[in-house]
């Protein structure tokens, strides 16, 4: 069951920071060099920090609901979340996955286009949309960074359309694993050679337009070929990245 995350208990609409609010949090933030606020000067980051709250959510909790008023936005500090949309008969389609340093929500928008649900335990730097929009208008560098992120997301969506429309099952799985190894690396680090999949195999299948049987079969074939190792159901070790790249790009 998806749990609703009651933001009204954690995020009043702006105003001075309450007692215990860590105004020096930005200096220790894990994604301070890669999140959208990285472009801000120290005093500007401190001002933005005073508008937000750090919140912790558990796997399965929903942060934003598709079609609801866009009342909040957030930087992802830790954890992985999914973006999903519903069909007319109630079926869910995962349309994206967000990682640490990604930005969620719709600034300058009226409604939320997707449901946002935590796949793992996660931490967010959360803002009311009104407070964030006002700050972004007063700080053009932040607005420019938002535009860059939007264009990056658009490029990623177009690449994903190619993956879904033209690649076979082996190519899809290989591309997905390479993308995971890059996106789960934070703070400018090199792509990871070992990582925990934040999605179940059924969710991977849903994202890639495959069946769970096909996902499991392809992973097993790559394991037998010595391209990857699967110590358990979620851990993936990339043993031969070059061959995995070849699998992702093979015609």
CA distances to 46, 78, 231, 234 from 195, rounded to whole Å, are: 33, 14, 11, 8
Asked if 86 contacts 92 with a C-beta cutoff of 8 angstroms, the reply is: yes
Residue 187: what pLDDT? 62
pLDDT (0 to 100) of residue 93: 80
Residues recorded for the chain: 251
Q: Where are the domains of the chain?
A: 3-142, 167-249
User: Which residue's entry shows tokens 């920090």?
Assistant: 49
- Nearest residue to 85 via CA among 57, 109, 113: 113
CA distance 202 to 165: 19
Report the pLDDT value the prediction gives residue 139, as an integer from 0 to 100.
93
In the chain (251 residues long), the average pLDDT of successive 10-residue segments reads: 48 39 67 87 90 93 93 93 85 84 90 91 95 94 89 82 82 92 80 91 88 96 97 94 91 48
pLDDT of 243: 96
Q: Domain 167-249 maps to which CATH number in 1.10.10.10, 3.40.50.720, 3.30.70.20, 3.60.15.10?
A: 1.10.10.10
What pLDDT was estimated at residue 24? 60
Class level of CATH domain 3-142:
mainly beta
pLDDT for res 133: 94
- Nearest by Cα to 92 from 206, 220, 221, 4: 206
């Amino acid at each position: 069951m998806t749990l609703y995350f009651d933001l009204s208990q954690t995020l009043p609409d702006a105003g001075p920071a309450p007692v215990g609010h860590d105004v020096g949090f930005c200096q220790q933030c894990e994604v301070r060099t890669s999140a959208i606020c990285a472009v801000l000067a120290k005093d500007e980051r401190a001002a933005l920090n005073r508008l937000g709250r750090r919140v912790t959510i558990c796997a399965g909790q929903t942060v934003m609901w598709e079609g609801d008023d866009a009342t909040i936005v957030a930087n992802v500090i830790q954890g992985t979340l999914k973006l999903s949309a519903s069909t007319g008969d109630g079926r869910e389609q995962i349309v994206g996955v967000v990682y640490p340093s990604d930005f969620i929500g719709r600034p300058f928008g009226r409604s939320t286009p997707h449901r946002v649900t935590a796949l793992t335990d996660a931490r967010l730097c959360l803002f009311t949309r009104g407070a964030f929009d006002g700050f972004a208008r007063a700080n053009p560098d932040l607005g420019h960074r938002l535009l860059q992120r939007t264009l990056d997301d658009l490029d990623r969506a177009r690449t994903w359309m190619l993956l879904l429309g033209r690649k076979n099952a082996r190519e899809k799985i290989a591309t997905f694993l390479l993308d995971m190894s890059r996106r789960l690396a934070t703070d400018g680090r090199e792509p990871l050679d070992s990582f925990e999949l934040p999605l179940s195999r059924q969710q991977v299948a849903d994202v890639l337009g495959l069946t769970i049987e096909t996902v499991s079969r392809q992973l097993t074939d790559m394991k037998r070929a010595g391209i990857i190792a699967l110590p358990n159901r979620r851990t993936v070790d990339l043993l031969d990245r070059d061959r995995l790249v070849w699998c992702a790009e093979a015609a």
